[in-house]
Chains A and B, each alone.
Chain A
Amino acid sequence: MKRNKTLYRLLILSGFILINAGILYGISQVIAYLNSGADRSKMLHIENDRTRSYIPEITWESLENSGRPIEAATQKAIEEDYLDAWYVKNNAFYTGDDVGIFDHYTASARTKIGDLLAVNKEQQTTIEATTIAHHLSLEFYSADGTLAVLTDRNVSGVERIFKNKEFVLERNFNDDYKLILLLEDGFWRIRHFEKIANTTHTPSYTPVSLDTALLEGINYYPQMSPWDTFGDKFSSDTLSKDFKIVKDLRLNSVRIFVGYEDFGKAHVSQHKLAKLTTLLDEAEKEGVKVIVTLFDFYGDYRLQDWTLTNAHLKSIVTSIKDHPALLAWDLKNEPDLDFDNRGEREVLSWLSHSINYLKELDPKHPITIGWSSPENALLLENKVDIVSYHYYRDLEDLASAHTILTNATSKPVVLQEFGMSSYRGLWNPFGNNKKDQAAYYTEFFKTQKRDSIDYLSWTLFDFGDIPNRVAGDLPWRKNKQACFGIIDNLGVKVDAYSIIKHR
């Protein structure tokens, strides 16, 4: 009985506390709800600067029209709203969700999109699409500035069709459209939209040959800023000094890395471009040619990202493509390592598209892809000008791996990365030391001389601190990665240096 009483007391007490907690929670939820809701600042459709995630190339081919001259601000507004219309439509076909369609299409056009979305939902089809380039002409702009008629020619792009989440088809398109836009509620909305022509545009491919008899080079990062060549420690003196070393080694080229994020993604920083030009200038002074590796640390590849990578590519390529020190473009370092995470088809599709675009921007310099293994080196062989691969295995098999490639392609084959880490220490007490490294190079040059292999070794310097994103944060990996150099952390030229020099 007494026990029961205590139990009841406990129950009543805890019940009371629980009920109170519940009430308090309820009240707080009501207050939170009343405080949430539409942001006053968003009531009006006032444009604020936003970073666009879709920036296809837009060319206005003509603004001549019989209606009235267009103001620059309106032209910009039309362009942005029209692109947004494409963006929301592509997005709707991808996700099946019609978010944003309301803002960019008039009522009757919305219905048409809605009907097709319903068809795709029923057929379990999803379409992933992006456009790459638009060529607009203004056909008519009304006197009161509320109606515009446009033609958009050669709208090039890519779409991937999935059915029940399974890939069905990837197709490129190149279409012409005519459209009528109305200014409603501050948006230029699509009233009419009609595809008037479709042509298949096959990019012209002319192979470019490599501009050196034998490519003999080294992969390069400054000693003090590994994987961050264009960072805060950038100095033309360092570069000048380092390229003198390269010259002293009697090498004719270096391979450098341009980070996608480092250079500002789609909006490439002029500051970084200036640094890149400085590097090329310094190389030019020493007569060293430069292979520029693009899209370093880029790993998205999604169709939705293509316009951004195009913008990035365009900024960099147009800025340095006429530099005399530029030898070749390496589109991407070891993209095959992303096959598992991003899907082989997706990665190859991006590479293939980006090569096309790069060819368009700069038809003069050869293009390569730095594949991580000889087995993958023949991927996109028909697209690249130079076949490149990386080789960190036993030197015994190098000759045969190289021969397989040279037999399979008529294009130059470059051993773009190879080398040996001389790290022996706490994390790897039985690793190779400087002597092993020297022996490695001696052996390499035997094969190289015999087979006339074009090569770039890894790398010039031992590095003090390796960023985590390069080799992860495990000390045995980092330390190994830090010791591939032929000049150690104290600036001493190790044995391998003289072997390369006196090869």
Chain B
Amino acid sequence: MKRMKHIAALGCISILLMTTLLLSFYMPQEKQAISQGSFRIEKIADTIASAEPRVVRFSTYDSVQEANLQLVLSSTYGTIALSLESTFWDYYFSIPAAFNKNAGKVSYTFIQDQKILQEGSYQILADTTKLGTLETHLGPRSIVANERDYTMLVSIPTDSLDNMLPDGTLVNLKSQFKNTTTATTHPLRSGIAWKRISAPLQSGRMSTASTLKTASSRELVADIFPDVAQDFSITASSHHNYADGNELITFETSQIRDAHGNIMTDGTLITFYIKSNLGDYWQTQASTVNGYAFAKALHPQSPSKWKITAAITGIAQSEEIVVTFEPIIKQIPLTITTSRSITVGPLTSYLGQWVQEGIAVSLEIDGVIYTEHTKKGIVTFYLKPEDHPTGTHPSIIRALGIEKNQQLVLD
């Protein structure tokens, strides 16, 4: 233990001795008064950006005068003011790393007590040997497969300290679409390199990237959507063409494509416009799947003729098709059970089967119209004596688009 203390003491003494030796060696040389009242710092030379502090020394230094010295440095992001620093044998300014990192013009002012002693400027240049990332921007990210549309790829390469690289540096801008890769070289201007990438005439997805020597960017993709749809055709299909109010008719578009044969994006909305010869209009909508859209409509209850067109509103449309619905009965069978109870039916369909439930049948008598719906093909009307007095009444019975005039004799 005691020995350790001895060694420590010896060590201390030897260090002290060496320092004094060093000091006596350096001090007279460095801190010497060179000229009365004059301070000059070394010219600050242009440099490469670095994350290291930088030392600015004096070319002449007056140690006699009380020195209130400041070095003011102004670069892009801001201004800093440095105070004099010193070691035992030297005076200097130390420009902090944070300041040396940013490329750009720097102006410096060396002052003493608000008086400017020296002014100048120097340049911090981007470090082209240490590349950072290539920041790329791509947009618009969704374009249309035609001759006019394009997307733009912008690359902003930087050095490892995030400084823009000098103009003229060559950057590779690359794009890839369906096994075709395009790469072109572009010089930097104002810190960026960019190119327009024309839309391919096929829909799909395009990948882009940029490289500069060993530095790479991430991948950015743009979707190429089909151009506007071309006109298309429609067809109608049904199991039969009777106006039975029961069957469904299906309308179907052809596969809708753009001018370059690209199938429309799924979900494109198609509107089918239906116009009946009885004066009715209506519409139904369907979305496309793989370019096809299907819509359904219920057969009418009356024999009629439909004209159908379809359209993508404002973009494309189909030609008109015509569908004719045949009547399912020739005449209306009628049974009068009592003089006041009139049964219509059974109404039968094209196979002789009952019409489906709920077919509307109306009876017009004395200016009043009664409407009932079939059940098992039959409707029964009961005419009350208080509404319809005894006697013969002309009446009209209507069902499934057919009319029958009947003289009803009521007791």
Min CB–CB distance A172 → chain B (angstroms): 11
Instruction: Flag B154-195 by CB within 8 Å of A: 1 or 0 each.
Output: 101010001110000000000000000000000001111010
Contact B156 A191 (CB under 8 A): yes
Ordered by A's residue number, 12 sampled pairs between the chains whose C-beta atoms are within 8 Å are A108-B162, A116-B77, A123-B82, A147-B192, A151-B190, A159-B79, A161-B79, A168-B70, A171-B109, A178-B164, A192-B158, A194-B104
In order of increasing CB-CB distance, the 10 nearest A-B pairs are A144-B139, A115-B98, A143-B152, A195-B104, A195-B76, A194-B104, A125-B81, A116-B78, A195-B105, A139-B190
Query: Pick the contact of A167 from B114, B116, B140, B194 — CB < 8 Å?
Result: B114
Question: Is A143 a contact of B72 with CB atoms below 8 Å?
Answer: no
Partner of B104, one of A119, A143, A163, A196: A196
| Whole-angstrom distance between the Cβ of A56 and the nearest chain B Cβ | 18
Question: Is A142's CB under 8 angstroms from B139's CB?
Answer: yes
The 0/1 profile, CB within 8 Å of B marked 1, for residues 114-133 of chain A is 01111110010101010000
Contacts of A454 in B (CB 8 A): none
Min C-beta distance of A82 to chain B, whole Å: 14
Is the Cβ of B72 less than 8 Å from the Cβ of A198?
no
Residues of B within 8 A of A167 (CB): 114
**Of B111, B150, B191, B194, which contacts A192 at CB under 8 A?**
B191
Alpha-carbon distance A198/B109, docked complex (angstroms) = 13
Q: In the complex, which of the residues B79, B162, B196 contacts A129, with contact meaning CB atoms closer than 8 Å?
A: B79
How far is A173 from B75 in the complex, measured between Cα atoms in Å?
11
CB pair B79 A198 closer than 8 Å: no
A-B contacts besides A116-B99, A123-B80, A196-B105, 5 pairs, CB < 8 Å: A67-B194, A119-B80, A129-B79, A171-B72, A194-B191
Known A115-B101, A195-B76; judge A123-B141 contact (CB<8 A). no
User: Residue among B72, B81, B82, B104 with the most chain A CB within 10 A?
Assistant: B81
Q: Are A149 and B139 in contact (CB under 8 A)?
A: no
A169 at the interface (CB under 8 A from B): yes
* CB proximity of A88 to chain B, nearest CB, Å: 12
Residue contact A169 to B104, C-beta cutoff 8 Å: no
Residue ID in chain A nearest B115 by CB atoms = A169
Q: 1/0 per position for A145-159, CB-CB distance to B under 8 A?
A: 111010100000001
Q: Which residues of B contact A359 (CB under 8 A)?
A: none
Does the CB pair A116–B152 fall under 8 Å?
no
- Cα distance, A108 to B158, chains bound together (Å): 12
Known: A123-B81, A147-B137. A169 touches B109 (CB 8 A): yes
Given the known inter-chain contacts A163-B81, A169-B116, please indicate yes or no for A192 contacting B156, CB distance below 8 A.
yes
A119 touches B99 (CB 8 A): yes
The verdict on A112 contacting chain B, using a C-beta distance below 8 Å, is yes
The docked-state distance in angstroms from the alpha carbon of A394 to that of B79 is 51
CA distance A67 to B164 in the complex (A): 19
Q: How far does the alpha carbon of A146 sit from the alpha carbon of B154 in the complex, in Å?
A: 11
Q: In whole angstroms, what is the CA distance A117 to B76 when docked? A: 13
Closest to B107 in A: A198
B190 touches A119 (CB 8 A): no
Give per-residue flags for A229-240: 1 if the beta carbon is below 8 A from chain B beta carbons, else 0. Answer: 000000000000
Q: What chain A residues lie within 8 Å of B50 (beta carbons)?
A: none
Q: 1/0 contact trace for B50-82 toward A, CB 8 Å?
A: 000000000000000000001010111111111
Chain A residues 148-204 with CB under 8 Å of chain B are 149, 151, 159, 161, 163, 167-169, 171, 173, 175, 177-178, 180, 182, 191-198
Chain A residue with the shortest CB-CB distance to B158 = A192
Q: Are A119 and B98 in contact (CB under 8 A)?
A: yes
A140 interfacial by beta-carbon distance below 8 Å = yes
In the complex, the answer to whether B77 meets A163 with C-beta atoms within 8 Å is no
Q: Are B192 and A127 in contact (CB under 8 A)?
A: no
Q: How many contacts between A and B, using CB within 8 angstroms? A: 138
Of the candidates B104, B109, B152, the one whose C-beta lies within 8 Å of that of A144 is B152
Nearest A residue (CB) for B156: A180
B20 contacts A by Cβ under 8 Å: no
Is the C-beta of B399 less than 8 angstroms from some C-beta in chain A?
no
Closest CB-CB distance, A191 to chain B, in whole Å?
7
Is B348 an interface residue when CB atoms closer than 8 A count as contact? no
Contact flags A79-109 to B (C-beta < 8 A → 1, else 0): 0000000000100010000000000000011
Residues facing A in B90-136 (CB within 8 A) are 96, 98-99, 101-107, 109, 111, 114, 116, 121
Question: Nearest Cβ distance between residue A254 and chain B, in whole angstroms?
Answer: 42
CA distance A118 to B96 in the complex (A): 11
B317 interface hit (Cβ, 8 Å): no
Q: Does A398 contact B (CB under 8 A)?
A: no
CA–CA, A120 to B99, complex, Å? 11
Rounded to whole Å, the gap between the CB of A68 and the closest CB of chain B is 8
**Are B72 and A194 in contact, with the CB atoms below 8 A?**
no
CB of B83 closer than 8 Å to a CB of A: yes
A194 touches B81 (CB 8 A): no
Q: A127-B78, A180-B191 are in contact. Are A163 and B101 (CB under 8 A)?
A: no
Check: B151 CB closer than 8 A to any chain A CB.
Answer: yes
Task: Decide if A380 is an interface residue (CB 8 Å cutoff).
Answer: no
Contact of B140 among A119, A143, A192 (CB under 8 A): A143
Min CB gap B210→A, angstroms: 14
Residue from B70, B101, B139, B191 within 8 A of A143 (CB atoms):
B139
Residues of A within 8 A of B82 (CB): 123
Pairwise interchain contact B81-A146, C-beta atoms closer than 8 A: no
In angstroms, Cα B114 to Cα A109, docked, is: 32
Q: Is there a chain B Cβ closer than 8 Å to A113's Cβ?
A: yes
Given contacts A142-B154, A194-B104, contact A149 B114 (CB under 8 A): no
Closest Cβ neighbor of B141 among chain A residues: A144
Whether the pair B77, A140 counts as a contact (CB closer than 8 A) is no
User: Which of A117, A118, A139, A173 is close to B74, meaning CB atoms less than 8 Å apart?
Assistant: A173
Please, which residues of chain A bring their CB within 8 A of the CB of B77? 89, 109, 112-113, 116, 193
Q: Return chain A residues, CB-CB under 8 Å to B192.
A: 140, 147, 149, 180
Q: Are A120 and B80 in contact (CB under 8 A)?
A: yes
Q: Which residues from chain B contact A180 at a C-beta distance below 8 Å?
A: 156, 164, 190-192
C-alpha gap A304/B309 in the complex (Å): 69
Q: Smallest distance from the beta carbon of A124 to chain B beta carbons, Å? A: 9
Write the nearest CB–CB distance from A11 to chain B, whole angstroms: 62
Q: Is the CB of A173 within 8 A of B107?
A: yes
Q: Which residues of B contact A140 (CB under 8 A)?
A: 154, 189-190, 192, 194
Question: Which residues on the A side are within 8 Å of B150 (C-beta)?
Answer: 143
Expressed in whole angstroms, the minimum distance between the Cβ of A189 and any Cβ of chain B is 13
A93 and B76 CA atoms in complex are apart in Å by 13
List of B residues within 8 angstroms of A93 by Cβ = 78-79
B189 CB to nearest chain A CB (Å):
7
Take A140-B190, A140-B192 as given contacts and tell me if A197 and B105 are in contact as well, using a CB distance cutoff of 8 Å.
Answer: yes
Separation of A140 and B105 alpha carbons in the complex (Å):
22
Q: Is the CB of A177 within 8 A of B76?
A: yes
B196 partner, pick from A117, A120, A143, A171, beta carbons under 8 A? A143
A195 with B189: CB separation less than 8 A: no
User: Given A142-B137, A142-B154, does the pair A194, B76 have CB atoms closer than 8 Å?
Assistant: yes
